[in-house]
Structure 1
């Protein structure tokens, strides 16, 4: 995790890509809640492999019981939502393996979830994965988004300015 400090205060959080693939604008997500940024700002990743890694050091604020999504919380309190696929809640956890639970402390790059891309696609769901900084977080001043080819744990996809 890379953070910049000013007088002991975190000024920005760099979220490294949790998934290897192609980072694209949220407008590419076939769900208006994400595409129109109704839930918050961020990017989406077209995954090349079915693994989700921690974007920074923090804790799992929530692992959804269907394992298709989770909230990772930075020490600053800022949360990032990683939502694997679109409408994948309908799979009721099939095709997903969690390696963490709500409340677990995690290190940047740690494996959090695995998902079966072929299974999800065969069930008729897109695997494009939104990475969202949910609206309503008072500490967040702005969010910068980075697109292009990304490798999990190496490339910055979102910078949160506090």
Structure 2
């Protein structure tokens, strides 16, 4: 009966996403692919990896693993969806140099290894190793996104803060 008089919560939920890869975080504009660099895939950041492991940066659900294991989509409990794309044009490697430890639908824990990749094999095949991290549904879910650049350690350093719509 009195529910219409209750004040609606105006508190925003801030979600911090930790780096899924150890390396150097850079703006998407540094990615040598217009789809990523131009923001056509969504908002995000890219990492120049130093270690060939992609870990879960949060507890979530595997929404999709690309067949060649060079990319994965994860969903955060907040509704944010992320694409982690290892290298540029690496789909051409048809999985060579990539080992996936997850499947679509899996529940993952922060720090869990998702994909291992051979940096030297990818570079040796002539592909850039830079790894875009894209929020694929930022416009639907967030009020704002703050991105961070510089040296990052997987699971330790925040690369993105999002204010979730209430």
TM score, norm. by length of structure 1: 0.91
Runs of at least 5 residues in structure 1 that lack an aligned partner in the other structure: 1-6
For residues 86-125 of structure 1, give each alpha carbon's deviation from its aligned partner in whole angstroms, at most 9, with x where no partner exists: 0001111111000111111011111100000000011110
Distance verdict in 2 for CA 1:137–1:60, change over 3 Å: farther
Equivalent position of 1:4 in the other structure: none
Q: Is the 8 A contact 2:43 2:138 kept in 1?
A: no
CA offset at residue 10 of structure 1?
6.9
For residues 114-155 of structure 1, give each alpha carbon's deviation from its aligned partner in whole angstroms, at most 9, with x where no partner exists: 000000011110000001101465222221100110000000
2:95 to 93, 96, 99: 93
Matched ranges for 1:2-13 at <5 A: 11-13=13-15
Equivalent position of 2:127 in the other structure: 125
Equivalent position of 2:5 in the other structure: none
Matched ranges for 1:46-125 at <5 A: 46-125=48-127
Runs of at least 5 residues in structure 2 that lack an aligned partner in the other structure: 1-8
Pairs aligned (count): 156
Equivalent position of 2:21 in the other structure: 19
Q: Is the 8 A contact 1:15 1:157 kept in 2?
A: yes
TM score, norm. by length of structure 2: 0.89
Instruction: Say which structure is richer in strand.
Output: 1
Q: What's the Cα RMSD here?
A: 1.6
